[in-house]
Amino acid sequence: MTANDKSTHDKLLDVAMRLFHEQGYAATGVSTILREAGVNSGSLYYFFPSKEALLEGVLDRYMELLWPEVLDPAFAQTTDPVERIFSVLAGYRHMLTLTNCTMGCPIGNLALELSDTYPMVREKVKGLFEAWCAGIQKCLDAAADRLPAHVNRESLAKFILTVMEGGMMQARAHRSLEPYDASVAHLRGYFDQLLADGRAKRADASAG
């Protein structure tokens, strides 16, 4: 790919990513993508033979960006593994504040809009959810000695994704951070209890 090609290719992906996020996949016309990218349809179809191929490119791009744009910056805020999880959740809160509680999680949106229609989307969204949960699970694994032994960390990572996605959805419907904050506060309460339970069990073990 020439530098010029790469620039056109990336511009199409950036514009499609933004428009799919702003208005959804079905509601985004190819003509709008072309106009906003300043690209003609020949160039689009050279790189992406269909709108679905463009969507596939967008989903791949989200996977490339997961660590550098979502997890790494959040993890850099603190060394405490549990706080790193809440730092990721604070990142989504920040996204909500920037958009006045509109738009939500781009992956969650595509998951609900398209999972049943495009097997490719479902597979890629599944992969993105798994990669996100694997990142969160690294934190849980690093905190394993502070959690009660019975806690299934893989399943807890999924629960954390559930809280993020469900909280974002309600924040959009209410146009308010309040339901997101409420959801994260209850997750915090659950963690406080798990960590207290872990401390009590370790105290019992060292006393016994």
Q: Closest approach of Cβ 96 to its own copies, in Å?
A: 12
Q: Are 72 and 37 in contact (CB under 8 A)?
A: no
Kindly state whether residue 144 participates in binding its own copies, applying the rule CB under 8 A.
no
Q: Closest approach of Cβ 5 to its own copies, in Å?
A: 32
- Cα–Cα distance, 129 to 108 (Å, whole number): 9
Please, which residues have CB within 8 angstroms of residue 200's CB and are 6 or more apart in sequence?
none
Which one among 32, 43, 77, 170 touches its own copies, defined by CB under 8 A? 170
Give the pair of three-digit tokens for residue 32.
């709008």
Kindly state whether residue 22 participates in binding its own copies, applying the rule CB under 8 A.
yes
- Cα–Cα distance, 58 to 10 (Å, whole number): 10
What residues numbered 29-68 form the site for its own copies, per CB under 8 A? none
Q: Closest approach of Cβ 3 to its own copies, in Å?
A: 36
The Cα diameter of the chain in Å comes to 74
Torsion angle (degrees, nearest 10) of CA 151, 156, 159, 165: 160
Segment interacting with its own copies (CB under 8 A) among 5-13, 64-72, 86-94, 180-188:
180-188
Consecutive H or E run containing 184: helix 178-207
- Cα–Cα distance, 164 to 162 (Å, whole number): 5
Which one among 76, 98, 149, 173 touches its own copies, defined by CB under 8 A? 173
Kindly state whether residue 88 participates in binding its own copies, applying the rule CB under 8 A.
no
Torsion angle (degrees, nearest 10) of CA 21, 22, 26, 30: -100
Kindly state whether residue 87 participates in binding its own copies, applying the rule CB under 8 A.
no
Kindly state whether residue 77 participates in binding its own copies, applying the rule CB under 8 A.
no
Kindly state whether residue 27 participates in binding its own copies, applying the rule CB under 8 A.
yes
- Cα–Cα distance, 118 to 59 (Å, whole number): 13
The dihedral sign for the CA sequence 33, 1, 110, 133: negative
Segment interacting with its own copies (CB under 8 A) among 11-19, 32-40, 72-80, 98-106:
98-106
Which one among 158, 177, 195, 202 touches its own copies, defined by CB under 8 A? 158
Q: Are 58 and 64 in contact (CB under 8 A)?
A: no
Which one among 152, 199, 200, 203 touches its own copies, defined by CB under 8 A? 152
Question: What are the residues binding its own copies (CB under 8 A)?
Answer: 22-24, 26-27, 102-104, 108-109, 111-117, 122, 125-126, 129, 152, 155-156, 158-159, 161-167, 169-170, 172-175, 179, 182-183, 185-187, 189-190, 193, 197
